[in-house]
Amino acid sequence: MIWKQERNLILVRMEDGEDFFEKLKELSEKIGIKGAIILSGIGQFREVELGYYSKAEKKYYTKKFEEVFEVLHLDGNLGFFGNELVIHAHVVLGNKNLECVGGHLNKAKVNSTLELVILRTESNFKRKLDEATGLKLLNFE
C-alpha cells in the first residue's frame, strides 16, 4: 500500500493480494485517524464476503464470493466503538458477465489494485450500541 495525505484528503493505492480491512486499520493507526469518510474506491477485489442486515432478526446474512470483481462503487466511514476501529463500508461489485452484487463489505482482498480517496475529519466518529437494532451506530453526543 502506498498513500499520500494532502490536507484532509488521503489518497491510497492498495496492491494485489492486500487485505482491504487490514491495510485500512494499519493506515488509521499510523496516522492517528479518529474519524474519516471513504469518498470513493475503484479497482478490483477477490475473496469477498458481503452482508445484508435484517432488522427484524437483528443479524447479518453473509455470502462469500471467490471470483474477481470490478469495484464499481465503494464508500463508508472509519470510526470507533470504544477503542476498536470500525470500518463500515458498502460496495457494488461487477463480475465478468457485467452482473452486479452489492452489500455491506465484510472481507475483501485486492486483485491488481484498489484506489481510495478518504476524507479525514476533525470530529471523532464514535459508535454506540443501539438496543433497538443491535447495531453499533454513529453517536453525535
Residue 59: give its domain's CATH number.
3.30.1330.80
> What torsion do the CA atoms of 48, 78, 116, 107 make, to the nearest 10 degrees?
-10
Q: Is the pLDDT of residue 95 over 80?
A: yes
For residues 53-76, give the mean pLDDT.
Answer: 95
Range of the domain at 112: 2-139
Mean pLDDT for 16-29 is 98
140, pLDDT greater than 90: no
Mean pLDDT value of segment 6-33: 97
Mean pLDDT, residues 82-100 taken together: 97
Identify the band that residue 141 occupies on the pLDDT scale cut at 50, 70 and 90: low
Structure confidence at residue 60 (pLDDT): 92
C-alpha 51/C-alpha 106 separation (Å) is 7
Residue with cell 433497538: 132
Counted domains in the chain? 1
Asked if residue 122 lies in contact with residue 33, where contact means CB atoms within 8 angstroms, the answer is no
